[in-house]
Amino acid sequence: MIRLLLADDEDLIRGALAALLDLEPDLRVVAQAADGAEAVRLATEHRPDIAVLDLEMPELDGITAAERLRGHGGAVVIVTRHARPAVLRRALAAGVRGFVPKTTPASRLASIIRDVHGGARYVDPEIAASALTEQDCPLTARELDVLRHARDGDPVADIAASVHLAPGTVRNYLSAAMAKLGAATRHEAARRAWEEGWI
């Protein structure tokens, strides 16, 4: 029996997926979480064989949760709506063993879970193909750093304190990043950078 933890902040999706996977004779959902922090807590408590994590969750996103689950024994499969190549690279660097879009049928996901449990790695072929042709990130390391903090909604003064820069310098980096990404606000620029997997 392969023991599963499911984490998704959308209750309906998580519940439906749990019901479908529980129909499989060799799979059993032992825990469900509504956010990344809860997923980490439940994984350390239940020790599932596989944690199936949504990429976008409150508290901790799926990749951050996967990083924190390293060393707890189970493998991680990320399920996402934003299947960007750079996000894939971050996931693989975090030790994720499977990376699939949310459009994957439950029966196919069950098969992928079995393969991952058997030691294989699975990456959706379309995502893998686009990763080979992806353009490089146009942002500098400093621009990415300030956008990472802007994504959390921090004011400029807090971002400046976190990255050890003057507020005016932070504003300059945010403006440059917004211009490069064609974003109207720093929050939009941060969202785009996150969706591309750059932060």
pLDDT at site 98? 93
Tokens encoding 191 = 């969202």
How many Cα atoms occupy the beta-carbon half-sphere of 50 within 13 Å?
29
pLDDT at site 135? 65
pLDDT at site 102? 86
Q: List Cα–Cα distances, 112 to 30, 76, 117, 160, 165, in angstroms.
A: 18, 11, 8, 43, 45
What is the gyration radius of the CA atoms in the chain, in angstroms?
A: 18
Walk me through the domains of the chain, giving residue ranges and CATH numbers: 2-132 (3.40.50.2300), 141-196 (1.10.10.10)
pLDDT, one tens digit per residue, over 86-134 is 778 888 888 899 999 888 899 999 999 999 999 999 998 887 777 666 6
